[in-house]
Structure 1
Amino acid sequence: MRLAHVTLAAALALAAGPAGAQVLSNPNATNQALTSESTARGNQIGTTSQNNAARMEMQRSQTSQPPAPPTGAVGAPRR
């Protein structure tokens, strides 16, 4: 198990080595990518929040409804 972790860590370190040394030809590309990713994540969080609020409202309306009237024959009360 420990050997698998060491092997995985070594493989990840080797894969990240050359990528870290690369220089971007357009430094603004990183900022644009991060901005668009942030915007997409914000939209996703907003949508999730709206869906959760709608679900909660539906659950509240279902639990706050008065009980249904009894069904069946209802006779006159005895005196």
Structure 2
Amino acid sequence: MSEKYIVVFKSTASQEDIDKFAESVSSDGGEVIHRYDSTMKGFAAKLSPNTLTKFNSLQAEKDSIIDYIEPDGVVTTQ
């Protein structure tokens, strides 16, 4: 079962790098829902558990281009 996450990349990530990650989401049974290009580099996606594990492992590497991954959800202000 896929869950929704936001994957944000560091400013050093190229569009080609981000496209490769987005393609890997699709090839592993997930779906990119929205791409963020102007305010930040990244995308919202339904990630399979396998893809989430893989991305988290890559994020932990010293020279990773993934800045952070967080669950997608509703944000409200009071």
TM-score normalised over the length of structure 2: 0.21
TM-score normalized by structure 1?
0.21
Higher helix residue share:
1
Bigger CA radius of gyration: 1
**Structure with more relative contact order (C-alpha pairs < 8 Å, separation 6 or more):** 2
